[in-house]
């Protein structure tokens, strides 16, 4: 795998298909905000590693990257149509093991499987293997293009909930870097900027990997949005001062009852918001809603390596051998969620009923 230094652009695309080189260029988000480096990926294994190691992260972005990974995994495959179909299934199974919580990963891989079945399956379109591979690449590109449009729509619906001059707090990074463009929770902030509506954003730094400091503060600052970085343990103080009129976060999976998994620390923010009478909004594409998962208790929560806490950025900050618990996500029970904003509009409780309606 090689890497490529790229100068800062107006907005940074986290996942870029390079059609000239037939490879995936992935912005290495671990290096932000110091360095803008694209990894040049040519195999499914490299995509798996990039997802696992957080070079690409954020629920929609990992789904998009994995979809391109399926194509990379089969593009050199030489065999019958039936064998190619089986290989697509194997590559999807493999990429699905990279991270467990964000359902967008499984959603995108299921979509790639379904496309392969439609192209190559017994009652499918009967296309030849080379054409099927190109069609799979097109499917991955379509997932990416649709996500950009979806995020814009989420932003428009979310912006209806905000007013000029409001303070808005967010946790982790649910911005352009986590999606094809705009983000989910950050989309209204970009659209507000376009429309001349002033929002004052507070970005939690988001321990332990600092997606809020390294990514949210970075991308909003680049876009000229008014953003103030705070440590996670300052959210309550900032709310108590009356500086926050709404909280908006992204999510990795919404269960059928409206419980929401998102970056560790989100639950605490939701409890604080309720204590201060501040609405707590969750923004996500429909592909993040998982009606097959009944409640938050059924969402698999990824646990990550202790080094993220004890020596996150190279310097040891805890005693060697100390016990560590490092869940990457937590679950916010639905009673804390004021509304869920998707590309189809704003959904409120009762979530069990109203989320189901979205899909009918
Ligand atoms: O571990 P990460 O950085 O992938 O976690 C990301 C989040 O928790 C985001 O809030 C979520 O994926 C929504 S991104 C639009």
Q: Cβ of 275: how many Cβ atoms within 10 Å?
A: 11
Q: Is the peptide bond before 128 cis (omega within 30 degrees of 0)?
A: no
How would you label 94-122 residue by residue, b for 16+ Cβ within 10 Å and e otherwise?
bbbebbbbbbbbbbbbebbbebbeebbee
Atom of ligand 1 at shortest range from CA of 185: 15
Domains of the chain: residue spans and CATH: 15-150 (1.20.120.420), 160-358 (3.40.50.10470)
Check residue 22 and give its pLDDT.
97
Ligand 1 first shell, C-beta below 6 A = 57-60, 102, 172, 174, 178-179, 183-184, 211, 250-252, 262-263, 328
Q: How far is the CA of 358 from the centre of ligand 1 (A)?
A: 23
Q: Report residue 19: phi and psi, to 5°.
A: -75, -25
Ligand 1, residues 147, 169, 207, 251: which to mutate, most atoms within 8 A of Cβ?
Answer: 251
pLDDT by residue for the chain (360 residues), tens only, comes to 666 655 445 679 999 999 999 999 999 999 999 999 999 999 999 999 999 999 999 999 999 999 999 999 999 999 999 999 999 999 999 999 999 999 999 999 999 999 999 999 998 888 899 999 999 999 999 999 999 999 999 999 999 999 999 999 999 999 999 999 999 999 999 999 999 999 999 999 999 999 999 999 999 999 999 999 999 999 999 999 999 999 999 999 999 999 999 999 999 999 999 999 999 999 999 999 999 999 999 999 999 999 999 999 999 999 999 999 999 999 999 999 999 999 999 999 999 999 999 999
Angstrom distance (rounded) from CA 36 to CA 93: 31
ipTM at complex level: 0.99
120-147: per-residue pLDDT in tens?
Answer: 999 888 889 999 999 999 999 999 999 9
Angstrom distance (rounded) from CA 275 to CA 284: 24
Contact 86, 114 (CB under 8 A): no
Q: How many CA atoms lie within 13 A of 8 on its CB side?
A: 10
Q: Which two tokens stand for residue 349?
A: 């409780």
Is 252 designated active site?
yes
pTM: 0.96
**DSSP secondary structure code for residue 75 in this structure:** T
**Of all protein residues, whose CA lies closest to atom 6 belonging to ligand 1?**
58
Q: How far is the CA of 264 from the centre of ligand 1 (A)?
A: 10
CA distances from 204 to 94, 100, 173, 217, 289 (A): 33, 24, 9, 9, 24
């Amino acid at each position: 795998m090689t890497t490529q230094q790229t100068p800062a652009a107006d907005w940074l695309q986290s996942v870029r298909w390079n059609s000239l080189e037939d490879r995936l260029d992935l912005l290495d988000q671990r290096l932000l905000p110091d360095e803008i480096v694209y990894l040049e990926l040519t195999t499914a294994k490299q995509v798996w590693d990039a997802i696992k190691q957080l070079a690409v992260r954020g629920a929609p972005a990992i789904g998009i990257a994995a979809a391109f990974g399926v194509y990379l995994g089969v593009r050199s495959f030489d065999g019958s149509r039936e064998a190619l179909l089986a290989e697509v299934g194997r590559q999807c199974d493999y990429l699905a093991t990279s991270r467990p919580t964000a359902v967008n990963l499984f959603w995108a891989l299921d979509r790639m499987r379904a496309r392969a079945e439609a192209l190559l399956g017994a009652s499918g379109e009967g296309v030849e293997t080379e054409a099927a591979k190109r069609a799979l690449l097109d499917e991955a590109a379509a997932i990416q293009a649709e996500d950009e449009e979806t995020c814009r729509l989420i932003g428009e619906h979310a912006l209806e909930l905000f007013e000029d001059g409001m303070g808005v707090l967010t946790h982790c990074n649910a911005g352009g870097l986590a999606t094809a463009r705009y983000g989910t929770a950050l989309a209204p902030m970009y659209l507000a900027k376009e429309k001349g509506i002033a929002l004052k954003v507070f970005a939690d730094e988001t321990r332990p990997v600092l997606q809020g400091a390294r990514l949210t503060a970075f991308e909003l600052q680049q876009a000229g949005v008014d953003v103030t970085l705070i440590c996670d343990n300052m959210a309550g103080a900032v709310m108590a001062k009356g500086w926050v009129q709404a909280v908006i976060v992204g999510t990795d999976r919404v269960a059928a009852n409206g419980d929401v998994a998102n970056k560790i620390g989100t639950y605490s923010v939701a409890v604080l918001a309720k204590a201060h009478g501040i609405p707590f909004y969750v923004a996500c594409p429909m592909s993040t809603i998982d009606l097959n998962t009944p409640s938050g208790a059924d969402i698999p929560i990824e646990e990550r390596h202790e080094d993220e806490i004890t020596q996150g950025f190279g310097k040891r900050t805890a005693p060697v051998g100390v016990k560590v618990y490092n869940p990457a996500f937590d679950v916010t029970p639905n009673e804390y969620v004021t509304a869920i904003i998707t590309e189809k509009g704003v959904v409120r409780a009762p979530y069990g009923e109203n989320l189901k309606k979205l899909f009918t």
